[in-house]
Structure 1
Amino acid sequence: MRACFNNPRPPLCEVALILMLCLAHPGVAQEQDRTTEEDVDHAGIIRSWTDVNRERGRRIYDAHCVSCHGYEGAARLPDARAFNRDELRAGGDPYTMWLTLTEGFGQMVPQMQYSPEERYDVVHFIREVFIRGPNRDQYFEISDEYLEALPEGTPREDLVPPDGHPRDYGPVLTSQFRREVNRAMTFDLGEDVFASYDLHRMRQHHVWDGFLNLSQTQHMRYRGERQPFPDGEPLAGLQTYHWAYGADFDAAPENSLMQGLENSKSMGPTDSELMLYNGHYLDGRTATLSFSVLGREVLERPRVHRLDDFVVLENVIRVAPGETALQLTAGAFAGDPGTEGVLGLAGEPSLALDDTGSAHGAIAFAADVPSPGGASGIGDFIAAVVAGDTEQLRWEVTAQHRLGLHIPASSTPLVIRVLRFAGSGAEAWARFRDYADLVVQ
């Protein structure tokens, strides 16, 4: 750099410096263009302020403004305004405060990660909580004349969402799931059904009717700092599904390094000798999980079959040859069932059933029985059936009312289809039994 300035002919240095300055200015201009391009009904937003807007502004302030301006409006940085006592250098009326957030001021960068309404929510919170009482001289009284003088925008009720390109994340999305699972894979199964799997334990963590809400994540916002969450109703009776261990068909235990930590049973990994996630394969609009259980390789693809309120979850599974027997929990009944066990496809629920039996051509189930006397008295129930290489497979309904599937050691690959259903009443039972009969045969 020194040689450059000592050079009697320094055109390259000068050109480079000029280019740097020129390149810097368009960025500022582009930021300003972004603010002027927003179609904002300023007066309409201010007129509609309520306590809901104030509390929404409080949440944004507590998350992103407090580090400089303080919890009580008493600034933590020398150059930051203390809203409870200082003069607002850029102006104290709502529109000017909104512009300050929008365009930035001093050391504060433009807060364009928030929508125009959210920026006004923050303004409303600051005015009503920090300025109105402690710093009354800075509180701007809003009048009709003031609102009429604000820049015009399309009234909010007339705004039409802009045409855009819906984001396509494919059939699966790996992410954190709320604050419950930090390594989840969510499947878009189609038919408005989503299922999220805990990849540490290869268990279905949640399945619901709706969609995966990403509105507060980095997928949708410049500074999305929240986790994806299910937007819809959970599918009742179908929440339990996992590869299992022990006589009670428990899910994989937590790793000893995570014991005692909050949410460790969901957040931490398990022993890799018990279970190890390898990855997944994409195939059009479907995906297949690859993992090992007790050293035995498994490929698994979840699917859904739906007709209105009739929803059957299916897992297509390929288990590699191996000398270790495996266990799978295909469901769990909440509460104390009136009857449970294993019966043939042509059978009817009764109070006297075996709790274990061959999985070939058989249903494992647990059900309420409001009135004794067979299927006519069946209430809420869960049921599972398996098709494919089932000759050596065995169902067991445990004391914890779990539908457990025993998968034996094998010298050849086993390919099976596990179908799960939850319903209530004789009609739902007959419908699932007929459907299962078609699949098994």
Structure 2
Amino acid sequence: MKKIQSGLITLLAVMLLFSCNPKNHETDSPTGFTLSESDLPDYEKNIDHKGLLTALDDRHDESIRTGEHIYNNICFNCHGNPDQVGSIPTAFKFWEDQFKVGNDPYSIYQTLTRGYGSMPPQVNLTPVEKYDIINYLRETFIQKENPDQYFEIDSTYLASLPAGTTTGPAPKEFKPWAEMDYGNFLINTYELVGLNPAPRERSTGPAPLKDENLAKANFAYKGIAVRLDQGPGGVAAGKAWMMFDHDLMRVAGAWTGDGFIDWEAILFNGKHNISPRTAGDLHFQNPVVPAWANLTTGTFDDPRFTARDKRKFGPLPREWTHFKGLYQFKDRVILSYTVGTAKILETFGLETVENQPVFTRTLNISPSDKSLKMRVAPSGTSVVLVGEGATLKEQGGFTVMEMAPSKPIKIKLLLGKPGMKGLQQYTKTSSPPEDLDPLIKGGPARYPQKLTSEVSEGTQEGPFQVDIMNPPFDSPWKNQFRLSGLDFFKDPNKGVICSTDGDVWLVEGFTKNSGKLTWQRIASGLFQPLGIKVVNEEIFVTCRDQLIKLHDFNGDRETDFYESFNNDHQVTDHFHEFAMGLQTDKEGNFYYAKSARHAREALVPQHGTLIKVSKDGQKTEIIATGFRAANGVCLNPDGTFIVTDQEGHWNPMNRVNWVKKGGFYGNMFGFNSPADSTEKGMELPLVWVDRERDQSPSEMLWVDSKKWGALDGKLLNLSYGYGKVFVVPFEKIGEQVQGGVFELPVPRFSTGVMRGRFNPGDGQLYLCGLSAWGSTQPQLGGLYRIRKVDQPMVIPVGIKATSQGIELNFTDELNAKSVADTAHYTVKTWDLLRSRKYGSKHYNEQTLTVTKATLGKDKKSILLDIPQIKPTWGMEIQYQVKDYRGKDVVGLVQNTIHQLGEGRE
């Protein structure tokens, strides 16, 4: 079978919506396509659609196999099949749903090519591949299971298709996640397996999915994979590796082979409900238990939190052992941790005995006030010791290294497969244990190149202009640039940006307006960074396994020490538990949000929580619970927080939550959720954001710029799902905050928008974004600037719900005559059903009558009398009025009402 171009797998955790016009083969396609004709590659304008369709008869079996491969690797996660519901249960079901507009092959091809509604354009699929997946869907699902939706192809239809002379570029294999140079280490959750591993156990069925029996699996939940052999390309291009687990301070194992891992993970090849496995020959491995004996008891008993499935998670107690971080020197990785009072530096290496690999561990250990004991490897593994001050013995099925309280120790362990010959003799010629101190003071830059990218200034009409500041996608390290956080230094021309692929970039050129940005890669190999913050000119990064502080010792700006500022994170193997965002309060405490498991009950207390880390990094505290997929955190002026959440199980729609300490926010699959699953048992959101407005809200922020005029001090919500920015008008009645969202009049971004910061130098809003797990947008990553220009906005920034009706407050004055016409308003309401099922449709939809509309005394307020008004899950207010200049003002506010205030006098 031909190779499949599968680079877009990471783009497609979305709901496919095949909606286009089967009768329209003109160049001007129906409204709703994401890409216009001018956005498409030139070859798309000359495709022989008739030839591609008729060729399917000759290559029928190959086409079906190829289409099946694409479906299983790209579409199945979200759509599932007739026997198994996909991860997004509302996604289109080809075997039973009705196509909204078009079901013929060319219409589906147009949707794949250009995107429509929630369906992003499939920019990496070739025309041949697109027709292969269409062929597979038609024959496998539609014709057999959904025959009413099957379109018969005949000569008349083929003759109606656009004529062309090419079939487009040939398919090729494309795996950007496996081709990227991550540096010589990559932190992730890994499962260590040997050759010919057993198939993975994966639960299916209705939510909550049952826990698999993974007690015997060797997961390094906070695994630091280190490449040992020499050569370019980083860890992904290696042939030999060791894995260090910084929860347990153990070497989890060592392996060799032609492939690093199988890349099965949501942020690699897009797979849900899975963690990557090692690929190749596993030479030795250690179980998921502490490597160093408890200095008080002398045992290896594991005292950590025990989850419902009997596994243990989180780091060992600090007084026992604690991970301090890792140093980078050229391609060397030096780990730093403590055991009791002993400070340890450790590095790994690779040597050879009779053409067989020998894995080395070099340890520099400071004096300890107590004896130390470490499990090296299971009995039978070939292990020898080089150096003085330690001894090896067999104990409890392991080779154990013991060290008496003494002066500093430098030793080297040599490890090989069981039965390796010549290892003891080799100790006479192997180099002595290395002094690691010279390697922790900073080394030469590993990424000396400074890359540049162009700034494309926007010239849009209206109050906002958008500048595109795309990263240098042609980097020598093949970075994907899925940007996930940004912040600025005191010099506002400089900033730092992290990507979820593990990088941190120093970027310059924000405010000097030279038309270019300079990018320097200053850190790499981190575990899914999704938040970054500059505090007193020091860089902190939220990773899934720890909060990291970056140190540059020699002034080249590149990170020499990745300090584990706080690693209290409880990490499991589940793909969904992202650590999102990073903010600090006035006292210097840090805050981030941790997502829960998707379609499963929580295993650890941190699942689905807002988390506080003390200023010194020594203490972690859970502030609020009950979140499902909390994408970042916003600190409010009154000391409370805002955390968004995503539609899903127990979330009938997206939520914007005004969070107070100790609050529970609705996810009954959380850890120790309250017994009351009704709305009374949870804190209510500021607004239920309908999926028509946004598929996935991300982080919120307060406008902090006088240049933004009447929006200064107002609240913004960023859209990961649709690449938008919203203003959030709200009010507070008693203790309840309620309000809505209004989309800013700016073009939809080509990525989902994750994070935003106002630059104190130019007063404008900078945004970064990515497409990885559910955005409808086609571009992997992007950087943007929104500039407020001197034009009226006429944007609703305030909302009040009273027993009399709705009051909307605008940034600019309005025309009284146009406001007074009640025909200019449409108000709809609906209810939602909150349950363990995924999401909710609208119930009890109603259109409310506006009996009177009045312009307020400030000439910026619209007062709508709505006799039928009452609390409602969802409300949509559409208006079409004129501003003080006589220009049309058309808009839509979508809001929620929990309580009605007092009516106007």
Shorter-chain TM-score category?
Answer: 0.5 to 0.7
By how many angstroms is 1:325 displaced?
Answer: 1.4
Q: Any conservation in 1 of the 2:94–2:137 contact (CA below 8 Å)?
A: no
Pair 1:277 & 2:323 matched = yes
Partner of 1:32: 40
Instruction: Give the aligned residue type for 1:243.
Output: A
Q: Deviations over 1:409-439 (max 9, x none)?
A: 12x3211111112243xxx42x222212223
Which one of 308, 328, 333 corresponds to residue 261 of structure 1?
308
Instruction: Give the aligned residue type for 1:186.
Output: A
Q: Any conservation in 2 of the 1:189–1:303 contact (CA below 8 Å)?
A: yes
Pair 1:418 & 2:413 matched = yes
By how many angstroms is 1:291 displaced?
Answer: 0.7
**Any idea what SS the aligned residue of 2:280 has?**
strand
Q: Which has the higher contact order (CA 8 A, sep 6+)?
A: 1
Which one of 83, 90, 114 corresponds to residue 102 of structure 2?
90
Measured in 1, the distance between the counterparts of 2:355 and 2:341 equals 39
Q: 1:32 and 1:263, CA in 2 relative to 1: closer, same or farther beyond 3 A?
A: farther
Partner of 2:77: 63
Partner of 1:171: 184
Instruction: Give the aligned residue type for 1:99.
Output: Q
Q: Any conservation in 1 of the 2:34–2:115 contact (CA below 8 Å)?
A: no
Measured in 2, the distance between the counterparts of 1:84 and 1:384 equals 60
Pair 1:185 & 2:193 matched = no
By how many angstroms is 1:201 displaced?
Answer: 0.5
Q: Deviations over 1:23-64 (max 9, x none)?
A: xx9986785349949999956787413457436524643422
Q: Any conservation in 1 of the 2:52–2:128 contact (CA below 8 Å)?
A: no
Q: 1:135 and 1:280, CA in 2 relative to 1: closer, same or farther beyond 3 A?
A: same
Partner of 2:351: 305
Q: 1:116 and 1:220, CA in 2 relative to 1: closer, same or farther beyond 3 A?
A: farther
Identical residues among aligned pairs (%)? 18
Q: Any conservation in 1 of the 2:342–2:367 contact (CA below 8 Å)?
A: yes
Measured in 2, the distance between the counterparts of 1:307 and 1:386 equals 15
Q: 1:76 and 1:163, CA in 2 relative to 1: closer, same or farther beyond 3 A?
A: closer
Partner of 2:119: 108
Instruction: Give the aligned residue type for 1:32.
Output: L
Instruction: Give the aligned residue type for 1:397.
Output: E
Measured in 1, the distance between the counterparts of 2:100 and 2:227 equals 49
Query: Comparing 206-215 with 34-43, which one deviates more in the overlay?
Result: 34-43
Instruction: Give the aligned residue type for 2:384.
Output: V
Q: Any conservation in 2 of the 1:90–1:100 contact (CA below 8 Å)?
A: no
Which one of 390, 394, 417 corresponds to residue 393 of structure 1?
390
By how many angstroms is 1:121 displaced?
Answer: 6.5
Query: Comparing 42-51 with 303-312, which one deviates more in the overlay?
Result: 42-51
By how many angstroms is 1:224 displaced?
Answer: 6.6
Q: 1:217 and 1:37, CA in 2 relative to 1: closer, same or farther beyond 3 A?
A: farther
**Any idea what SS the aligned residue of 1:292 has?**
strand
Q: Deviations over 1:245-304 (max 9, x none)?
A: 26998756151xx21333733x43222222211110001111011111123211100111
Q: 1:202 and 1:99, CA in 2 relative to 1: closer, same or farther beyond 3 A?
A: farther
Structure 2 portions without partners, runs of 5+: 1-32, 192-216, 231-238, 433-905
**Any idea what SS the aligned residue of 1:437 has?**
coil
Q: 1:26 and 1:202, CA in 2 relative to 1: closer, same or farther beyond 3 A?
A: same
By how many angstroms is 1:196 displaced?
Answer: 1.6
Q: Any conservation in 2 of the 1:209–1:232 contact (CA below 8 Å)?
A: yes
Q: Any conservation in 2 of the 1:57–1:123 contact (CA below 8 Å)?
A: no
Alignment of 1:339-358 (within 5 A): none
Instruction: Give the aligned residue type for 2:225.
Output: T
Query: Comparing 58-67 with 277-286, which one deviates more in the overlay?
Result: 58-67
Which one of 202, 210, 227 corresponds to residue 249 of structure 2?
202
| Higher helix content, 1 or 2 | 1
Q: Deviations over 1:140-182 (max 9, x none)?
A: 45689969978513455xx597999952221111112149233
Partner of 1:357: none
Alignment of 1:122-141 (within 5 A): 123-140=134-151
By how many angstroms is 1:307 displaced?
Answer: 5.9
Instruction: Give the aligned residue type for 1:229.
Output: R
By how many angstroms is 1:228 displaced?
Answer: 3.5
Q: 1:260 and 1:386, CA in 2 relative to 1: closer, same or farther beyond 3 A?
A: same
Which one of 310, 329, 334 corresponds to residue 375 of structure 2?
329
Partner of 1:212: 260
Q: 1:261 and 1:302, CA in 2 relative to 1: closer, same or farther beyond 3 A?
A: farther
**Any idea what SS the aligned residue of 1:439 has?**
coil
Measured in 1, the distance between the counterparts of 2:173 and 2:89 equals 40
Query: Comparing 169-178 with 138-147, which one deviates more in the overlay?
Result: 138-147
**Any idea what SS the aligned residue of 1:419 has?**
strand
By how many angstroms is 1:83 displaced?
Answer: 5.1
Q: Any conservation in 2 of the 1:98–1:123 contact (CA below 8 Å)?
A: yes
Query: Comparing 310-319 with 43-52, which one deviates more in the overlay?
Result: 43-52
Measured in 1, the distance between the counterparts of 2:335 and 2:249 equals 9
Measured in 1, the distance between the counterparts of 2:146 and 2:40 equals 31
By how many angstroms is 1:206 displaced?
Answer: 3.0
Q: Deviations over 1:71-90 (max 9, x none)?
A: 49x9948xx68652524623
TM (norm. structure 1) is: 0.64
Q: 1:434 and 1:252, CA in 2 relative to 1: closer, same or farther beyond 3 A?
A: same
By how many angstroms is 1:198 displaced?
Answer: 1.2
Measured in 1, the distance between the counterparts of 2:65 and 2:292 equals 49
Which one of 153, 159, 163 corresponds to residue 168 of structure 2?
153
Q: Deviations over 1:97-141 (max 9, x none)?
A: 243133212343324577878766654553234311243243245
Measured in 2, the distance between the counterparts of 1:113 and 1:29 equals 17
Instruction: Give the aligned residue type for 1:177.
Output: Y
Query: Comparing 195-204 with 32-41, which one deviates more in the overlay?
Result: 32-41
Q: Any conservation in 2 of the 1:200–1:269 contact (CA below 8 Å)?
A: yes
Instruction: Give the aligned residue type for 1:152.
Output: T
Q: 1:85 and 1:198, CA in 2 relative to 1: closer, same or farther beyond 3 A?
A: closer
Q: Any conservation in 1 of the 2:126–2:168 contact (CA below 8 Å)?
A: no
By how many angstroms is 1:184 displaced?
Answer: 1.1
Query: Comparing 297-306 with 124-133, which one deviates more in the overlay?
Result: 124-133
By how many angstroms is 1:91 displaced?
Answer: 3.6
Q: Any conservation in 1 of the 2:345–2:364 contact (CA below 8 Å)?
A: yes
Partner of 2:398: 402
Q: Any conservation in 1 of the 2:187–2:222 contact (CA below 8 Å)?
A: yes
By how many angstroms is 1:313 displaced?
Answer: 0.9
Bigger radius of gyration: 1
Q: Any conservation in 2 of the 1:212–1:228 contact (CA below 8 Å)?
A: no
Q: 1:323 and 1:36, CA in 2 relative to 1: closer, same or farther beyond 3 A?
A: farther
**Any idea what SS the aligned residue of 1:230 has?**
coil
**Any idea what SS the aligned residue of 2:414 has?**
strand
